[in-house]
Amino acid sequence: MILSYKDCIEKYGSDYLLKKEIANGNIFMKEKGVYSTRRNVSDLEVIMSKYPKAVFTGSSAFYYHSLTDVIPDYFYLATKREDSRIRDPRVKQSFLKDDIYGPGITEIIYNNVVIRTYSLERMLVELMRFRTKIPFDYYKEIILNYRRIADQMDFGIVEDYAYMFKNGEKIMEGIQLEVL
Protein backbone atom coordinates (compact mmCIF):
# COMPACT_ATOMS: atom_id res chain seq x y z
CA MET A 1 0.00 0.00 0.00
CA ILE A 2 1.28 3.47 -0.93
CA LEU A 3 1.13 6.19 1.71
CA SER A 4 1.84 9.91 1.56
CA TYR A 5 3.88 11.69 4.22
CA LYS A 6 0.64 13.07 5.67
CA ASP A 7 -0.86 9.54 5.86
CA CYS A 8 2.26 8.29 7.64
CA ILE A 9 2.17 11.10 10.20
CA GLU A 10 -1.51 10.35 10.91
CA LYS A 11 -0.73 6.64 11.26
CA TYR A 12 2.49 6.82 13.29
CA GLY A 13 2.05 10.12 15.12
CA SER A 14 5.28 11.98 14.38
CA ASP A 15 8.23 12.24 12.04
CA TYR A 16 10.46 10.62 14.67
CA LEU A 17 8.19 7.56 14.94
CA LEU A 18 7.97 7.36 11.14
CA LYS A 19 11.78 7.30 10.87
CA LYS A 20 11.83 4.60 13.55
CA GLU A 21 9.38 2.47 11.50
CA ILE A 22 11.57 2.95 8.43
CA ALA A 23 14.65 1.90 10.40
CA ASN A 24 12.82 -1.20 11.68
CA GLY A 25 11.82 -2.14 8.11
CA ASN A 26 8.07 -1.85 8.71
CA ILE A 27 7.67 0.92 6.12
CA PHE A 28 9.77 1.85 3.10
CA MET A 29 10.50 5.27 1.64
CA LYS A 30 10.16 5.10 -2.15
CA GLU A 31 10.60 8.78 -3.00
CA LYS A 32 10.34 12.05 -1.18
CA GLY A 33 6.86 12.07 0.35
CA VAL A 34 5.99 8.57 -0.92
CA TYR A 35 6.09 5.59 1.42
CA SER A 36 5.04 1.97 1.08
CA THR A 37 4.18 -0.93 3.34
CA ARG A 38 5.84 -3.25 0.79
CA ARG A 39 9.50 -3.32 -0.19
CA ASN A 40 8.85 -3.57 -3.95
CA VAL A 41 6.42 -1.14 -5.54
CA SER A 42 6.07 -0.44 -9.25
CA ASP A 43 6.72 2.99 -10.73
CA LEU A 44 3.12 2.91 -11.97
CA GLU A 45 1.82 2.79 -8.39
CA VAL A 46 4.12 5.61 -7.35
CA ILE A 47 3.07 7.79 -10.30
CA MET A 48 -0.64 7.19 -9.61
CA SER A 49 -0.23 8.05 -5.92
CA LYS A 50 1.83 11.19 -6.61
CA TYR A 51 -0.48 12.52 -9.32
CA PRO A 52 -4.01 11.26 -8.52
CA LYS A 53 -5.75 13.84 -10.75
CA ALA A 54 -3.65 13.04 -13.82
CA VAL A 55 -4.94 10.76 -16.59
CA PHE A 56 -2.84 8.41 -18.71
CA THR A 57 -3.01 9.31 -22.38
CA GLY A 58 -1.03 8.81 -25.59
CA SER A 59 1.41 5.92 -25.78
CA SER A 60 0.82 5.01 -22.13
CA ALA A 61 -2.93 4.62 -22.61
CA PHE A 62 -2.50 2.60 -25.82
CA TYR A 63 -0.13 0.28 -23.97
CA TYR A 64 -2.34 -0.12 -20.88
CA HIS A 65 -5.35 -0.84 -23.11
CA SER A 66 -3.27 -3.58 -24.85
CA LEU A 67 -3.51 -1.87 -28.24
CA THR A 68 0.26 -2.08 -28.69
CA ASP A 69 3.12 -4.08 -27.23
CA VAL A 70 5.54 -1.15 -27.41
CA ILE A 71 6.41 -0.13 -23.86
CA PRO A 72 6.43 3.67 -23.66
CA ASP A 73 9.66 5.42 -22.64
CA TYR A 74 7.75 7.82 -20.40
CA PHE A 75 4.48 7.99 -18.49
CA TYR A 76 2.27 10.21 -20.66
CA LEU A 77 -0.14 12.12 -18.42
CA ALA A 78 -2.84 14.67 -19.19
CA THR A 79 -3.81 17.31 -16.65
CA LYS A 80 -5.98 20.40 -16.59
CA ARG A 81 -4.39 23.64 -17.78
CA GLU A 82 -4.43 25.20 -14.33
CA ASP A 83 -2.71 22.21 -12.68
CA SER A 84 0.91 22.63 -11.70
CA ARG A 85 3.74 21.36 -13.84
CA ILE A 86 4.93 17.83 -13.08
CA ARG A 87 8.69 17.93 -12.60
CA ASP A 88 9.36 14.22 -12.83
CA PRO A 89 11.81 13.06 -15.53
CA ARG A 90 9.74 9.88 -16.04
CA VAL A 91 6.64 11.89 -17.01
CA LYS A 92 5.62 13.73 -20.19
CA GLN A 93 2.74 16.04 -19.34
CA SER A 94 0.12 17.58 -21.59
CA PHE A 95 -2.21 20.34 -20.44
CA LEU A 96 -5.82 20.21 -21.63
CA LYS A 97 -8.70 22.68 -21.44
CA ASP A 98 -11.31 21.76 -18.84
CA ASP A 99 -13.97 20.97 -21.46
CA ILE A 100 -11.81 18.34 -23.21
CA TYR A 101 -9.98 17.03 -20.13
CA GLY A 102 -12.93 15.28 -18.42
CA PRO A 103 -14.77 13.32 -21.12
CA GLY A 104 -13.69 9.70 -21.41
CA ILE A 105 -11.84 9.31 -18.11
CA THR A 106 -12.12 5.77 -16.82
CA GLU A 107 -10.35 3.58 -14.32
CA ILE A 108 -8.81 0.26 -15.31
CA ILE A 109 -6.74 -2.30 -13.46
CA TYR A 110 -3.28 -2.91 -14.88
CA ASN A 111 -0.92 -5.27 -13.01
CA ASN A 112 -3.10 -5.01 -9.90
CA VAL A 113 -2.89 -1.21 -9.94
CA VAL A 114 -5.99 0.93 -10.46
CA ILE A 115 -5.06 3.63 -12.97
CA ARG A 116 -6.94 6.56 -14.49
CA THR A 117 -6.83 6.55 -18.25
CA TYR A 118 -8.97 7.62 -21.15
CA SER A 119 -11.45 5.09 -22.54
CA LEU A 120 -10.86 3.13 -25.75
CA GLU A 121 -13.32 5.39 -27.55
CA ARG A 122 -11.58 8.58 -26.45
CA MET A 123 -8.17 7.14 -27.32
CA LEU A 124 -9.38 6.33 -30.85
CA VAL A 125 -10.24 10.01 -31.28
CA GLU A 126 -6.84 10.98 -29.85
CA LEU A 127 -5.14 8.58 -32.27
CA MET A 128 -6.89 10.24 -35.22
CA ARG A 129 -6.09 13.74 -33.90
CA PHE A 130 -2.36 13.05 -33.69
CA ARG A 131 -1.90 10.48 -36.48
CA THR A 132 0.58 12.68 -38.38
CA LYS A 133 2.84 12.89 -35.31
CA ILE A 134 2.91 9.12 -34.70
CA PRO A 135 5.30 6.75 -36.52
CA PHE A 136 3.43 4.97 -39.32
CA ASP A 137 4.11 1.37 -38.21
CA TYR A 138 3.07 2.20 -34.62
CA TYR A 139 -0.12 3.84 -35.93
CA LYS A 140 -0.93 0.82 -38.11
CA GLU A 141 -0.43 -1.60 -35.20
CA ILE A 142 -2.90 0.35 -33.06
CA ILE A 143 -5.42 0.70 -35.92
CA LEU A 144 -5.31 -3.07 -36.56
CA ASN A 145 -6.03 -3.71 -32.89
CA TYR A 146 -8.92 -1.24 -32.99
CA ARG A 147 -10.35 -3.12 -35.99
CA ARG A 148 -10.29 -6.34 -33.93
CA ILE A 149 -12.32 -4.76 -31.13
CA ALA A 150 -14.55 -2.49 -33.24
CA ASP A 151 -17.68 -4.56 -32.50
CA GLN A 152 -17.19 -3.98 -28.73
CA MET A 153 -16.97 -0.20 -29.01
CA ASP A 154 -19.75 2.41 -28.83
CA PHE A 155 -19.30 4.58 -31.91
CA GLY A 156 -22.01 7.00 -30.74
CA ILE A 157 -19.68 7.95 -27.90
CA VAL A 158 -16.73 8.10 -30.32
CA GLU A 159 -18.73 10.58 -32.41
CA ASP A 160 -19.50 12.70 -29.32
CA TYR A 161 -15.80 12.80 -28.42
CA ALA A 162 -14.80 13.62 -32.00
CA TYR A 163 -17.15 16.59 -32.21
CA MET A 164 -15.62 18.12 -29.06
CA PHE A 165 -12.83 19.24 -31.39
CA LYS A 166 -13.12 21.76 -34.19
CA ASN A 167 -12.02 19.26 -36.85
CA GLY A 168 -14.50 16.63 -35.61
CA GLU A 169 -15.81 15.80 -39.08
CA LYS A 170 -12.29 15.00 -40.35
CA ILE A 171 -11.67 12.84 -37.28
CA MET A 172 -14.88 10.87 -37.87
CA GLU A 173 -14.07 10.54 -41.56
CA GLY A 174 -10.67 9.05 -40.67
CA ILE A 175 -12.25 6.64 -38.17
CA GLN A 176 -14.79 5.47 -40.74
CA LEU A 177 -12.05 4.88 -43.33
CA GLU A 178 -9.54 3.22 -41.00
CA VAL A 179 -11.57 1.29 -38.43
CA LEU A 180 -15.11 0.61 -39.67
Helix (H, G, I), strand (E, B), or coil: what is residue 17? helix
How many domains does the structure of the chain reveal?
2
pLDDT at 78: 92
Which residue, among 37, 65, 31, has the nearest Cα to 50 in the 3D structure? 31
148 with 62, same domain?
yes
Question: The pTM is what?
Answer: 0.84
Range of the domain at 149: 47-179
119 with 161, same domain?
yes
pLDDT tens track for 52-86? 889 999 899 999 998 998 899 999 999 999 888 98
**Rounded Cα distance, 103 and 90, in Å:** 25
91 with 164, same domain?
yes
| DSSP, res 75 | E
pLDDT tens track for 122-166? 999 999 888 889 999 999 999 999 889 888 888 888 888 888 888
33 with 70, same domain?
no
